[in-house]
Structure formats: structure tokens, C-alpha cells
Amino acid sequence: MSQQLRVGMVGYAFMGAAHSQAWRTVNHAFDLPLSARMTAVSGRSEQGVAAAAAKLGWAEHTTDWRTLIARDDIDLIDICSPGDTHAEIALAALAAGKHVLCEKPLANTVAEAREMAAAASKAAASGVRAMCGFNYRRVPAVALMKQMIDDGRIGTIRHVRANYLQDWIVDPAFPLVWRLRKEIAGSGALGDIGAHIVDMTQFVTGQSITSVSAMTETFIKQRPLPSASAGLSAAADGSHVGDVTVDDAALFLARLSGGAVATYEATRFATGRKNQLRVEINGSLGTLVFDQERMNELEFYDGTRPAPEQGFTRILVTEPDHPYMAAWWPPGHLIGYEHSFTHEMRDLLSAIAEGRQPEPSFQDALQVQLVLESVSRSAETSSWTEVEPALQPAF
Ligand code: SOE
């Protein structure tokens, strides 16, 4: 019987459900020295969190996340709550000697992200680990993309072209939910989905974004207040609408540390695109393309082949020697979005068991936060903006 790693999760909405599925399956899919135990989940609504515990497979539930941190029978805190809660919960958990998995983006501000990265670095000295949940790194086709770039298969990288397109708030009648309020979410499409393509492109290329030139747009400026409009009161004129205080779309040019040039687009107004994350990397010897809507495939143009044979090939990323795939089905049988979270938990449990730093670390996530902040500043000033380096903490 492997040693248990007892988990307490904060939040039980979309990411809480995705993480729960991963905690339920990780030890059935992978042979690991640590076995996850879903000890307790916390949420603000007693009725809601009780139902979530039963549905998602948590042994206990609470309405106060602080009780999870106070328990000596919980080893890891998994933060799946909105961005305005990440810093307080992570800092308390690290101070209590708990490992931390925190959903992306790490925080709502660079200041919070810095404090979290410093606390994680300090905690690491006593074997406490912290990781940020950029799950798309763990899609097998993305991991294969990184391997092929690292192996030089497309040569020197010239272009990075990354889009993350959604359309769930195109309807002006869609209510003013928490993701549309800066004080809770920190930013809009930029931090929610732009963070993913920033992290993914830096991960697969091994290059970091050094400067940006950006624009953002909020197409619908006011929206109806949601029925349970916590923290919102009707407008002074009695109307039940509220101001959208985040970006609906963020677009930016970028330069990367290894000389590549890049374009990024993150929007919630790409009508018809439900969750299309697409990254194309052009190199001196070839091109690689990942499209989340065809997430079991990788397109590869090998410019080193004899001219008559050149063309884009479609690699079906389901072979046992493809990243993570030996755990699943025979070749040609596909996996889904939820498997990236199971792979995330596999890598986190392995790192904890082996006493090493899981990636992306809070320091890696701080660097993403610095890019996001530079994009916002560039959009506000309509100017090219350098990305401040994420200096390692003093200890
Ligand atoms: C946005 O709606 C969202 O849920 C992101 O927050 C997730 O990170 C992404 O994986 C799916 O879309």
C-alpha cells in the first residue's frame, strides 16, 4: 500500500470538478509512490459544498477553508477558487507546511504573485512543494511538441502564433459573473485564457516573453446583475446592471528571449469558437501546430524531407511511447481535456514523492503574471513595454 497524500480542496465549480476527476483517477491510471486521498472540500455554501462533496467524491466538506489548513490530517491544499482568494489561501497553507496546487493564473496582481513565489521558495527548503495548474502543458501532444522542439526538429524558432478563442459571453444578456469583475478575477480574457497561451508557448519553446505591444477591448460595458449578486447592489438609478471591469479581448505582439517574434490573441468574443486554443511554431527547419479542438493530434511540417515529399503530417499522439499515453488505451483510442488534469496530479505526486520541485513552480507562474501585467500596461499606454524579469527570491 503506497503512502497516502491527503488533499483538501478549496472550491468546487468547473476547476474543482476537473481536479476532483483527476484526484479520483490518478492512482488508477499511474503506479505512484503516493496515493491521493480526497479528504475534504470547502465552499461558501453549506448546501452547495455538501452536494459537491457527494457528487465529486470528497469524504468530508466544510464552509471554511481555514479548517482545512488547521487539520493535521491534510497534507496538500488544492486551490480551485477565484483569483482574489489565491494569495491568502496559498500563503496560509505554505506557512502551515502544506503542499499547494494553485489554479492559474497564480494571482490577481504581480505583488501577490511575488509574495506567493517567495513563500513557496522558503517552504521548499523544508520539502514543501507548490505548483501552478497550467494543465495544457500536460496534454500529450503539447508535451510531444516540446520534446520535438528541444530535439531541434524545427530548428531555430522564428514565429510563435497563439490564439485562445471562446465565445461564452457574446450575448449582452449574459450576467455580470465573477469572471467579469476585476476585484475578483484580476483581469478578463487576458488572465483567464491568455495566461494559458503565455505559459504554453514559453514552455514548448523554452523562451520567455521579453517585451509586448498590446491592445485590449471590452465590447459590452454593462451587464445584468446575476440573481445571487453577492457584493453587488443595484445601480444608483435602481437599474439591475453592473459595469464590466475587465477585458473581453486581449491581443498583443511579443518578442521572445531566443529571438522569436510572436502574436497572441485571447478573446471571449470569437463567436462560434467554444474553447479553441491553437499554437503554431515556425522554425528554420519546419513547423509544429497544436489545436486543442483536435487535442490528440500534432501537425508537423518537416522541412528537411526531400522536396517532393514535403507536406504537413498529422501525428496521432496515442502511441505508448508518447508522453503519458502508456497509462491509457491502445494506439488510436483518444483521450480528453480531463486527462490533462490527471497527468498534472501524476506529475505533482511524483515530484512530492521524489522530493523535487514540480513545474510550473510559483516562480514560473510569477513570470507569467509579469507578462500579463506588461500586456495590461502596454494596452493602457499604447506602447511597447518590457517585461520585468522574475528575479529568484533571496533565499
Ligand atoms: C474559462 O472559461 C476556462 O474555464 C478557463 O478558466 C480554464 O482555465 C480553461 O481550461 C477553460 O476555460
DSSP state of 216: E
What DSSP string runs through 165-182?
E--TT-STTS---GGG-H
CATH class of 140-294+296-335: alpha beta
Ranges for all domains in the chain classified under CATH 3.40.50.720:
3-136
Measured from the CB, is residue 274 less than 6 Å from ligand 1? no
Start-end of H helices in the chain:
14-29, 46-56, 65-70, 86-95, 110-124, 140-150, 182-185, 189, 195-205, 337-354, 362-381
Q: How far is the CA of 367 from the centre of ligand 1 (A)?
A: 20
Point out the ligand 1 atom lying closest to the alpha carbon of residue 193.
Answer: 5
Nearest CA to 337 out of 166, 41, 139, 67 is that of 139
In the CATH hierarchy, which fold is given to the domain comprising 3-136?
Rossmann fold (3.40.50)
pLDDT at 389: 87
Measured from the CB, is residue 313 less than 6 Å from ligand 1? no
pLDDT at 292: 98
Measured from the CB, is residue 275 less than 6 Å from ligand 1? yes
Kindly give the parts of the chain with pLDDT less than 70: 1, 228-238, 393-395
Point out the ligand 1 atom lying closest to the alpha carbon of residue 136.
Answer: 10
Nearest CA to 182 out of 268, 109, 103, 283 is that of 109
pLDDT at 391: 77
Point out the ligand 1 atom lying closest to the alpha carbon of residue 14.
Answer: 4
DSSP state of 74: -
Point out the ligand 1 atom lying closest to the alpha carbon of residue 196.
Answer: 8
Nearest CA to 123 out of 160, 91, 171 is that of 91
Measured from the CB, is residue 192 less than 6 Å from ligand 1? yes
User: What is the distance between the terminal CA atoms of the chain, rounded to a whole angstrom?
Assistant: 37
What DSSP string runs through 124-162?
HTTT--EEEE-GGGGSHHHHHHHHHHHTTTT-SEEEEEE
Ranges for all domains in the chain classified under CATH 3.30.360.10:
140-294+296-335
Distance CA 283, CA 149 (A): 9
- b (16+ CB within 10 A) / e for 328-349: beeeeeebeeebbbbbbbbbbb
Q: What is the pLDDT of residues 273-285, one digit of tens each?
A: 999 999 999 999 9
- Name the residue of 167, 275, 292 to mutate for ligand 1: max ligand atoms within 8 A of Cβ: 275
Measured from the CB, is residue 14 less than 6 Å from ligand 1? yes
CA distances to 94, 189, 315, 323, 357 from 139, rounded to whole Å, are 28, 21, 14, 8, 20
- Written as nine digits, the cell of 300 is 508537423
- b (16+ CB within 10 A) / e for 286-295: bbbbbbbebb
pLDDT at 390: 86
pLDDT at 2: 74
pLDDT at 289: 98
Measured from the CB, is residue 382 less than 6 Å from ligand 1? no
Q: What is the pLDDT of residues 336-372, one digit of tens each?
A: 999 999 999 999 999 999 999 999 999 999 999 999 9
pLDDT at 237: 65
Measured from the CB, is residue 337 less than 6 Å from ligand 1? no
Q: How far is the CA of 192 from the centre of ligand 1 (A)?
A: 6
Q: How far is the CA of 216 from the centre of ligand 1 (A)?
A: 19
Point out the ligand 1 atom lying closest to the alpha carbon of residue 135.
Answer: 10
Q: How far is the CA of 193 from the centre of ligand 1 (A)?
A: 6
pLDDT at 394: 61
Point out the ligand 1 atom lying closest to the alpha carbon of residue 104.
Answer: 8
Q: How far is the CA of 189 from the centre of ligand 1 (A)?
A: 10
- Name the residue of 19, 139, 193 to mutate for ligand 1: max ligand atoms within 8 A of Cβ: 193
Q: How far is the CA of 347 from the centre of ligand 1 (A)?
A: 21
Tell me the pTM. Answer: 0.96
